[in-house]
């Protein structure tokens, strides 16, 4: 393929438009998100370079962007969105929604970008596949990942790494090995269930908007991430570290403030249309067999320190009623609730942050499990992030929970067993089918068709545990 003299590839799909001092880059690639059976969000960010500067940041650049998409790899019969400006108001991110798509269909798309519309050139070709939709029983395979700690990965013990230091110099140049392992599995989509970046680390605590944005820039400029999300659409949820700081709620005036954390997450990832006010909790009917729920665990929660009881809620009343209503209405064979934090665990005894914790939000969790039994909600499985070890646990009510673990080895740790004195299940009421034998990063793959299959992998792609429900 011969490129225009105004274009220059730099591996892994990075592209520069124009030349000289006006050169523009897609330094964080181009990605898609919130795929349905008929629509998608497309996103890119214009940058001044493709590598971090001396301050460890990837500054943005002004310009214009539109997206074109087609069912054909050569972009025959392509359609285009209107051009939009890339400005500092939105961190030079441009996002557009495309609709009227055909279900279960692969679409090719790319950003067209430049300093002006007349100078705009097409970027690398990307792709996504729309969901099969509720009338089609096509099997679907997707991956869930969480806890992507940049400073532990890059700086090891200086970054307070808790797990083994396995990142090579090549890994630190290319990005997390788990992402390369995930790409080899060719999933239909990815779910990032919180702690996508870490604002709080002893090496660097981010509080201001520029500091928060830098955390996203340094993470998503990795070539492995660019290449993975170039062809794998994603759904995103936030947890504490990509909201404010460890175990954060909506109390205190410590920076970043809650609204800043909410706005930043919506700015940086294709979750809603730019400026959109849709709630971040949502459900997607993926196929005839599968429906997924993505819950919001930070925006509506009661104070962590509030005594547990009927009035204390992690979800908030509106989200909780929405969850019950949509679960009751679903006729999907397989229902998967994907939560940033655990509901079963076990977790550490000292924590007060989630539904599994004894001094956390246990009353709401117990009431929810009782409601599931009362309403005979069948074939519901829980998946969570947050915990830095992988496990498969079964609640006394019979509900299964799978934790995806931390994505990178340096952020992993050993788990807490049922019956442990330092855990949230001192009476050993939880049955644990699997837990990580050693501290290691990895991810969870789920296949939904005639059967529902859960597979834990380590960061290098080794299958560790497989169960069929």
Render pLDDT for 423-464 as a digit per residue (tens, 0 to 9): 999 999 999 999 999 999 999 999 999 999 999 999 999 999
75 and 163 in contact (C-beta within 8 Å)? Answer: no
Q: What is the mean pLDDT of residues 78-89?
A: 98
What DSSP designation does 368 have? H
Give the separation between CA 260 and CA 273, rounded to whole angstroms.
Answer: 18
DSSP string, 423-450: BS-TT--SEEEEE-SSS--EEEEEEESS
pTM: 0.96
φ, ψ of residue 144 to 5 degrees: the values are -115, 130
DSSP string, 249-283: -S-S-PSSPHHHHHHHHHHHSTTSSTT----S-EE
More confident residue, 218 or 4: 218
Helix axes of 317-329 and 362-374: crossing angle, nearest 10 degrees? 20
Q: What is the mean pLDDT of residues 358-383?
A: 97
Reported as a pLDDT band with limits 50, 70 and 90, residue 10 is very low
pLDDT tens-digit map of 325-348: 999 999 999 999 999 999 999 999
Q: What is the mean pLDDT of residues 3-15?
A: 40
C-alpha atoms less than 13 angstroms from C-alpha of 410 in its C-beta half-sphere: 23
First-residue to last-residue Cα distance in the chain? 47
Reported as a pLDDT band with limits 50, 70 and 90, residue 19 is low
Does the pLDDT of residue 13 top 50, yes or no? no
**126 has which bridge partners?**
109
- Give the pLDDT confidence score for residue 2 in this predicted structure: 34
pLDDT tens-digit map of 184-214: 999 999 999 999 999 998 899 999 999 999 9
Q: Mean pLDDT over all residues of the chain?
A: 95
Does the pLDDT of residue 6 top 80, yes or no? no
- Give the pLDDT confidence score for residue 275 in this predicted structure: 86
Which contacts of 217-220 are long-range, i.e. CB under 8 A and separated by 24 or more positions? 217/27, 217/28, 217/52, 217/57, 217/58, 218/52, 218/56, 218/57, 218/58, 218/150, 219/148, 219/150, 220/28, 220/29
What percent of the chain stands above pLDDT 90? 93
- Give the pLDDT confidence score for residue 21 in this predicted structure: 57
- Give the pLDDT confidence score for residue 17 in this predicted structure: 67
Count CB atoms within 10 A of the CB of residue 264.
Answer: 24
């Amino acid at each position: 393929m011969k490129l225009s003299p105004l274009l220059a590839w730099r591996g892994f799909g990075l592209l520069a438009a124009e030349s000289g001092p006006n050169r523009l880059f897609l330094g964080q690639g181009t990605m898609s998100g919130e795929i349905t059976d008929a629509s998608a969000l497309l996103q890119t960010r214009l940058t001044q370079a493709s590598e971090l500067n001396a301050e460890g940041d990837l500054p943005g650049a002004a310009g214009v962007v539109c997206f074109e998409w087609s069912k054909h790899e050569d972009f025959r019969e392509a359609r285009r969105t209107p051009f939009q400006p890339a400005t500092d108001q939105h961190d030079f991110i441009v996002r557009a929604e495309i609709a009227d798509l055909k279900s279960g269909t692969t679409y090719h798309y790319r950003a067209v970008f430049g300093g002006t519309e007349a100078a705009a050139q097409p970027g690398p070709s990307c792709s996504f596949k729309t969901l099969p939709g509720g009338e089609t029983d096509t099997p679907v395979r997707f991956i869930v990942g969480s806890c992507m700690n940049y400073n532990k990965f890059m700086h090891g013990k200086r970054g307070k790494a808790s797990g083994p230091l396995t990142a090579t110099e090549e890994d630190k140049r290319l990005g997390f090995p788990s992402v390369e392992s995930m790409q080899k599995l060719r999933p239909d989509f990815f779910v990032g269930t919180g702690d996508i970046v870490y604002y709080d680390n002893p090496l660097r605590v981010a509080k201001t908007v520029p500091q928060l944005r830098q955390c996203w820039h340094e993470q998503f400029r990795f070539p492995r991430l660019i290449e993975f999300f170039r062809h794998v659409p994603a759904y995103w949820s936030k947890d504490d570290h990509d909201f404010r700081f460890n175990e954060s709620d909506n109390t205190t005036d410590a920076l970043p403030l809650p609204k800043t954390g909410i706005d930043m997450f919506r700015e940086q990832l294709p979750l809603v249309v730019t400026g959109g006010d849709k709630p971040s909790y949502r459900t997607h009917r993926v196929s005839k067999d599968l429906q997924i729920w993505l819950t919001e665990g930070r925006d509506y929660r009661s104070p962590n320190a509030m005594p547990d009881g009927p009035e204390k809620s992690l979800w908030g009343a509106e989200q909780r009623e929405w969850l019950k209503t949509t679960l009751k209405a679903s006729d999907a064979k397989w229902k998967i609730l994907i939560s940033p934090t655990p509901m079963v665990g076990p977790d550490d005894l000292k924590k007060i942050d989630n539904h599994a914790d004894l001094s956390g939000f246990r009353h709401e969790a117990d009431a929810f499990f009782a409601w599931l039994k009362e309403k005979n909600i069948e074939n519901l499985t829980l998946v969570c992030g947050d915990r830095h070890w992988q496990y498969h646990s079964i609640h006394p009510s019979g509900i299964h929970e799978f934790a995806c673990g931390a994505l990178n080895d340096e952020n992993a740790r050993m788990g807490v067993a049922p019956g442990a004195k330092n855990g949230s299940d001192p009476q050993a009421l939880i049955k644990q089918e699997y837990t990580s034998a050693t501290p290691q990063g990895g991810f969870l793959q789920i296949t939904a068709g005639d059967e529902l299959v859960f597979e834990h992998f380590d960061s290098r792609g080794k299958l560790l545990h497989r169960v069929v429900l």
